[in-house]
Amino acid sequence: MANVVLRGVSKRFGKQDVIRALDLEINDGELMVLVGPSGCGKSTVLRMIAGLEEVSEGTILLGGRDITRLQPKERDVAMVFQSYALYPHMTVRQNLEFGLKVRGVPRAERERMVGGTASMLEIGELLERRPRQLSGGQRQRVAVGRAIVREPSVFLFDEPLSNLDARLRTQTRVEIARLQRQLGTTSIYVTHDQVEAMTLGHRIAVLKDGRLEQVGTPSDLYQRPATTFVASFIGSPSMTLLPARVISGGLGLDAGVLTLPAVPGLAARRLADGSRVIAGIRPESVRPEGTVAANRAAAVSGEVVVVEPLGAQVHVQLKLGETMLAAMLPPTTMPRPGEQLTLAIDLGELHLFDEAGRRLEG
């Protein structure tokens, strides 16, 4: 059993709170992604689990064992760093087997483990090269291999793809997902890239200012964001958030720049007339006129400001007064900047939040 549990974990640097009473459980065999903007504390969480940073308060358990105050070498975790952290004077083979030699693993067993890892990662032909002779993608494979060969209880990945170009990022991301499925090892992956988070994670933990905003499957976070922060952070282009007021006996929303009548499910939330809320609209919920059922549609017109053809879709930014509305349209819809465009919002896909930014269930 190699689950990881954080109970009330906090971290302070001087008087600055970096992590605030974090409670999080990573299941045995799960790939958990920690995501959030730069400075939110996600790498600090990883370093505390690894033992590279001391915990100010709280407890960290690995497989039920308290590892909070143990030295890194006693924790049975392996970390893959953003910078690869390979020994430049050693060959790939020597880099892979270094940790095994330190632990006193016999030579024959080391050769077997290194050979198996090299085969799994398809780097067998690189074993006698040094890091300077490798491409960025090859170095990252070696860094991952050095973690795998140790056969730890937990893998820790600290933004391992950030130094790779776009094509290699996609390729290596797929490779990491395949390896994690194959090995079944509990893994914690830190990134600021929401695409990595959504495609890799069995579950995702979203952090903001050292606090946990929401944890759930990629679908949970996208379809039912708990806060406006999660709603705007997860998804690209991000969700449009409009301050709104409930009108007409709780059956409509006045967002200033448009009125959304008869919003489905709004009455069930028992919001009084005049209640202030925040309406969230995903770009794919804004569609060409006539493509949304009449009983669910709200027409919106505005000036086209941005048009970004993306092949299968077209990203459009529509100006509504002082507000910008993002839409993802089919490639057959190709407006020009400056023209007036009328679109339809699918009210059945509207997200509602209270003034504090918390999701309103209904």
Whether the upstream peptide bond of residue 237 has omega within 30° of 0, thus cis, is: yes
Predicted pLDDT at 250? 60
- Any idea what DSSP says for residue 296? G
- How high is the pLDDT of residue 266? 67
What gap in Å lies between CA 140 and CA 258, rounded to an integer? 50
**DSSP letters along 166-201, please?**
HHHHHHHHHHHHHHHHHH--EEEEEES-HHHHHHH-
Residue 293, pLDDT score: 81
Euclidean distance between CA atoms 22 and 33, whole angstroms: 15
Phi–psi pair at 197, nearest 5 degrees:
-60, -45
pLDDT above 90 covers what percent of the chain? 62
Residue 147: which H helix or E strand, with range? helix 136-148
Instruction: List the structure tokens of 122.
Output: 């398809």
- Record the tokens describing residue 357, joined without a space: 């930014």
- Nearest Cα neighbor of 328 from 315, 317, 339 is 315
Q: What is the pLDDT of residue 362?
A: 64
Radius of gyration of the chain, Cα coordinates, nearest whole angstrom: 25
Pairing relation of β-strands 340-346 and 297-309?
antiparallel
Tens digit of each residue's pLDDT (9 = 90 or more) over 104-159: 999 999 999 999 999 888 899 999 999 999 988 889 889 999 999 988 999 999 99
Which of the pair, 264 or 313, is modelled with greater confidence? Answer: 313
Residue 288 near residue 299 (C-beta atoms within 8 A): no
Cα atoms found within 13 Å of the Cα of residue 300, Cβ hemisphere only: 33
* Domains in the chain with CATH codes: 4-233 (3.40.50.300), 240-353 (2.40.50.140)
Q: Lowest-confidence range among 142-151, 268-277, 294-303, 338-347?
A: 268-277
Q: Give φ, ψ of 198 to 5 degrees.
A: -70, -35
Lowest-confidence region among 2-11, 157-166, 274-283: 157-166
pLDDT digits (tens, 9 = 90+) for 249-271: 665 777 777 777 767 666 666 77
Three-state SS for 196-243 is HHHHHCCEEEEEECCEEEEEECHHHHHHCCCEHHHHHHCCCCCCEEEE
Strands 154-158 and 286-288: unpaired
